[in-house]
Structure 1
Amino acid sequence: MSNVAILVVDVQNALIEKHPYNERKVIENIKKLISTARDNMKEVIYVRHDDGVGTEFEKGTYGWQIYNEVAPNNDELIIEKQFNSAFLKTSLREYLESKEIDTIMLVGLQTEYCFDATCKSAFDAGYKIIIPEETNTTFDNEYLSGENLYKFFNYGIWNNRFAQVISMEDVIKTYLDK
């Protein structure tokens, strides 16, 4: 039996208000996972990016705040990070070890940046990673659409290499609804 935690990466106002690909579906799915996890006494951990003074992710600013629809409860941990990976120079790994968490359910933003770096860092640290479908997102760029980036990373890079990309229904049934 795995000890699972949901890791909510960078679901912050500055990103959500730019309207990433599949925004509403991703937010609704994350909300459903968080609610189900809380109902079943599973850990929900948040990661928040701080890019420093003068940026849209400056600590204490509106853009830095976690998006209100998925905001943490007062007793839920928020890991502050300054690098793409939620593991680099943070207390995340120590916290997961202290709670004997061996499986990370990864959700959040941005697919090809902090989400990807966190996925691969978690894999390198030996965690089992579950990525529920339609729970990460990103934006169009000069090379690819947000939709193509989502598909490429979820099904071309991560699935069955670094993580398992699984339907919401199967994730809830297998990992959360106990």
Structure 2
Amino acid sequence: MPRTALFVIDIQNELAGHPQTEVPGAARIRTAGSQILRISRALADAAAATPPEEQQNPALTVFVQHEESPESGGTLLRGAEPWKLVFPPREDAVDEILVAKTTQNTFESNPDFADRLQNAGVDHIIAFGLQSECCVAETCKGALAAGFRLTILQGAHSTYDEKQKTAADIERQIEEMLVSRGAEVVPWENAVSRWETAGVVC
């Protein structure tokens, strides 16, 4: 049975947990992320309590965490407070995994990861997180290049304002670019409503 992977991309303290450094839309991202994970985890827990012959294939939740080297001058150093995840995976959850990356594209940093997902039955990736034009866009392009069906959750990804563009402008541009490559864009509220109706993240 086909399986979905829910990618939670780089929702780390520097970007969404510290008022001095977080993106302007951080509160929105925290709210969306909290609701998305509440529903996805409730569905996973319900599936685990269902007899195997009646189970739908539960989603795999992938928590992506960017890290930088001391030499880079960046602050996302392994173990440092800015590097830590706002939404960490549950330690006892077999369907939640943590994936580290050092480039914007999760698949580039982890060359065997696409094969691992496909071997686990995953054919569809749903993505949200930070930053829209950087790690979200590049990981989504990597997913499409690897042959996955892709959905990006509108309203659940964001970035910093630029001189000539607001974060909202950038969000829209990234969504349009991904749609042009074959992705689907769905408001996150609509997506979680669909999951609740279906009984599975899909």
CA RMSD of aligned residues (A): 1.8
1:133 Cα deviation after fit: 1.5
Unpaired runs of at least 5, structure 2: 45-58
Q: Contact 1:46/1:72 (CA < 8 Å) preserved in 2? A: yes
1:58-102 C-alpha deviation (Å, 9 max, x unpaired) = 1111111111xx221113211111111000131432331231111
Q: Contact 2:15/2:26 (CA < 8 Å) preserved in 1? A: no
Residues 18-57 of structure 1 aligned to structure 2 (within 5 Å): 18-41=21-44, 42-53=59-70, 54-57=73-76
* Whole-angstrom CA distance in 2 between matches of 1:175 and 1:122: 21
Identity of aligned residues (%): 22
Give the structure 2 partner of residue 172 of structure 1. Answer: 192
State which structure, 1 or 2, has the greater radius of gyration over its C-alpha atoms: 2
Q: Contact 1:21/1:147 (CA < 8 Å) preserved in 2? A: no
Large movers: runs of 4+ above 6 Å: none
Q: Contact 2:2/2:121 (CA < 8 Å) preserved in 1? A: no
TM-score (norm 1): 0.89
Between 45-54 and 121-130, report the one with greater CA deviation.
Answer: 45-54
Residues 26-175 of structure 1 aligned to structure 2 (within 5 Å): 26-41=29-44, 42-53=59-70, 54-67=73-86, 70-74=87-91, 75=93, 76-90=96-110, 91-154=112-175, 156-159=176-179, 161-175=181-195
Report the 3-state secondary structure (helix = DSSP H, G, I; strand = E; otherwise coil) of the residue aligned with 1:139: coil
- The amino acid that maps onto 1:130 is T
* Whole-angstrom CA distance in 2 between matches of 1:138 and 1:112: 7
TM-score (norm 2): 0.79
1:175 Cα deviation after fit: 4.3
1:142 Cα deviation after fit: 2.6
* Whole-angstrom CA distance in 2 between matches of 1:92 and 1:143: 36
